[in-house]
């Protein structure tokens, strides 16, 4: 077989698979990632708005990008509804994000100003993406919430599933390697350090061997909890009570009562 014959053979084989695809996903990720950047610029126009666009311009560009992506994944009416809902929620998202910025500034002695948090801290990008994506996840918007949080994951090394429920004044210090699973709940004023995992202990398996989806798999973290670097907290029945401190490199698969300090045994 020469090269021309190989090309024809490969084209025929690949066309067989391509014809099975019902949706053309090309450009969707770019539309969503661009829309998120415009949303961020609309919420923080003095910090992350390099083109100097007005709030109105950024909102329009964000809405256009979201609608373009969602209209390929859902019918036009749902795409319009998802987009309008998210845009209408932006003032509240911006309010909550400011609590996260305050938590970072108050919780990190190295932070010189809230502006430094916005401009330099990876947690700001990751939490902003999560706050936006969570709104879409809550109304069952398809695919777009995961694209937004995975965009931040690529940029920051912080992996927050959009399904997690996270309270106000949330701070991730340093951040690299943090994983927060889909069914996690996290209360207000929680501080997490790098390489923390809030994950699943095990997965239920259906009779056909597939994983059972839609069940509670990840822990619940109370209010005013500090989780130090390298800690791993697993399981859908695991509850960490209010005001707990979880030490570095601790492995937890059981609940902890409020006010406890849990340290790694040596």
Please report, for residues 1, 61, 134, 136, 241, the alpha-carbon distance to residue 131 in angstroms, rounded to integers and kept in the order given. 55, 19, 5, 9, 23
DSSP letter for 173, please: S
pLDDT per residue as tens digits for the range 8-45 = 999 999 998 888 887 889 999 999 999 999 999 999 99
Residue-level pLDDT at 20: 81
| HSE (side-chain half, CA atoms, 13 Å) at 197 | 13
Q: Reply yes or no on domain 24-158 having CATH 1.20.1250.10.
A: no
pLDDT per residue as tens digits for the range 243-255 = 999 999 999 999 9
Tokens of 84: 């309008």
The widest CA-to-CA distance across the chain, in whole angstroms, is: 72
Q: Kind of pairing, strands 226-227 and 245-246?
A: parallel
The class (CATH top level) of 177-266 is mainly beta
Residue-level pLDDT at 209: 65
DSSP readout, 84-120?
HHHHHHHHHHHHHHHHHHHHHHHH-TT---HHHHHHH
Which residues fall within 8 angstroms of residue 7, CB to CB, at 6 or more apart?
none
H-type alpha helices, the chain = 3-18, 28-43, 55-73, 76-107, 114-120, 122-138, 144-156
pLDDT per residue as tens digits for the range 113-144 = 999 999 999 999 999 999 999 999 999 999 99
DSSP readout, 207-223?
TTSPBP-SS--S-EE-S
Stretch (H or E) spanning 186: strand 185-186
Tokens of 154: 């690529």
Contact 173, 192 (CB under 8 A): yes
Phi, psi values for residue 155, rounded to 5°: -75, -35
Angle formed by the axes of helices 122-138 and 76-107, nearest 10°: 150
State the average pLDDT for the chain. Answer: 95
Phi, psi values for residue 186, rounded to 5°: -130, 130
pLDDT per residue as tens digits for the range 167-221 = 999 999 999 999 999 999 999 999 999 999 999 987 777 677 676 777 899 999 9
Domain boundaries, the chain: 24-158, 177-266
């Amino acid at each position: 077989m020469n090269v021309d014959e190989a090309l024809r053979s490969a084209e025929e084989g690949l066309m067989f698979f391509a014809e099975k695809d019902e949706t053309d996903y090309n450009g969707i990720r770019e539309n969503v990632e661009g829309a998120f950047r415009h949303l961020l610029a609309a919420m923080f126009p003095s910090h992350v708005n390099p083109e100097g666009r007005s709030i109105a311009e950024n909102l329009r560009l964000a809405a256009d990008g979201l609608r373009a992506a969602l209209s390929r994944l859902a019918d036009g009416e749902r795409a319009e509804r998802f987009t309008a809902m998210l845009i209408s929620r932006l003032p509240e998202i911006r309010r909550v994000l400011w609590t996260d910025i305050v938590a970072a500034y108050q919780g990190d002695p190295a932070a010189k100003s809230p502006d430094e948090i916005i401009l330099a801290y990876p947690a700001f990008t990751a939490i902003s993406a999560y706050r936006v994506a969570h709104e879409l996840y809550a109304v069952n918007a398809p695919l777009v919430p995961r694209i937004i949080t995975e965009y931040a994951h690529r940029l920051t090394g912080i992996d927050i599933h959009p399904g997690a429920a996270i309270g106000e004044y949330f701070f991730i210090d340093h951040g690299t390697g943090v994983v927060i699973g889909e069914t996690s709940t996290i209360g207000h004023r929680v501080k997490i350090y790098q390489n923390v995992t809030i994950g699943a202990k095990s997965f239920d398996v259906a009779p056909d061997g597939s994983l059972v989806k839609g069940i509670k798999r990840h822990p619940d973290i109370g209010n005013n909890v500090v989780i130090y670097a390298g800690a791993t907290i697993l399981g859908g029945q695991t509850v960490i009570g209010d005001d707990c401190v979880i030490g570095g490199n601790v492995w937890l698969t059981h609940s902890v009562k409020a006010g406890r300090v849990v340290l790694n045994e040596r």
